[in-house]
Chains A and B, each alone.
Chain A
Amino acid sequence: QVQLQESGPGLVKPSETLSLTCTVSGGSISGYYWSWIRQPPGKGLEWIGYVHYTGTTNYNPSLKSRVSISLDTSKNHFSLKLRSVTAADTAVYYCAREDLDNDGYYYVDSWGLGTLVTVSS
């Protein structure tokens, strides 16, 4: 059973870069898509984007100009960087694994517990 664990600062200043890492244990990075999803306090889920194990990325257009997701297969982890943050980026950030089945359906089949990142001076 794969497990995912987010890590990184819980407080980031406005205009700075939010950086998080997700460590994958109990499974391989290969063959899957590795995603970040966030949830502002009291609100719903927002998909940020994914990196495929081949290195291909796909980002939410609403964040594309500020976000990058990268993979380090040697360390079995992947990372999120979100630049120029504002208070609107305050949220619980989840790392997750996506899969694509033989019928062409994508789905998120494993989630981390999430980490709260607050943007404040």
Chain B
Amino acid sequence: EIQMTQSPTSLSASVGDRVTIPCRASQSIDTYLNWYQQKPGKACKLLISGTSTLQSGVPSRFSGSGSGTDFTLTISSLQPEDFATYYCQQSYSTPWTFGQGTKVEI
């Protein structure tokens, strides 16, 4: 099973900040990496698939990069609606596994 590590598990930021959220895989997963956003009381939302493919309707301030074992989700200018928990997930091999999540808070 591939382990996914997200550190830190929380970070503080302000509106307008550039935020980077790292994710590391325990072995190479090529570019088989997805990012999700979770808000309390709302369904999880897919932001990015295949490391860098932005999903339809997701603002362009979100971007993803990386390959192999190290990946990053970047929010170029944090907006009030972006305060949430972000999870990375590998889809290189089953069982799919998720990082512990990074909570972005004020």
* A residues apposed to B, CB below 8 Å: 43-47, 49, 58-62, 94, 96, 101, 103, 105-114
Chain B 64-96, CB within 8 Å of chain A: the 1/0 string?
000000000000000000000001010100111
B101 surroundings in chain A (CB, below 8 A): 44-45
B42 surroundings in chain A (CB, below 8 A): 113
A62 surroundings in chain B (CB, below 8 A): 1, 95
Q: Contact at A107–B44, with CB atoms within 8 Å?
A: no
* Residue of B31, B41, B49, B100 with highest tally of chain A CB at under 10 A: B49
* Residue of B1, B31, B50, B100 with highest tally of chain A CB at under 10 A: B50
Q: Contact at A44–B98, with CB atoms within 8 Å?
A: yes
Closest residue to A112 on the B side, CB-wise? B43
Closest residue to A105 on the B side, CB-wise? B50
Closest residue to B9 on the A side, CB-wise? A44
Give, as a whole number of angstroms, the nearest-CB distance from A27 to chain B: 14
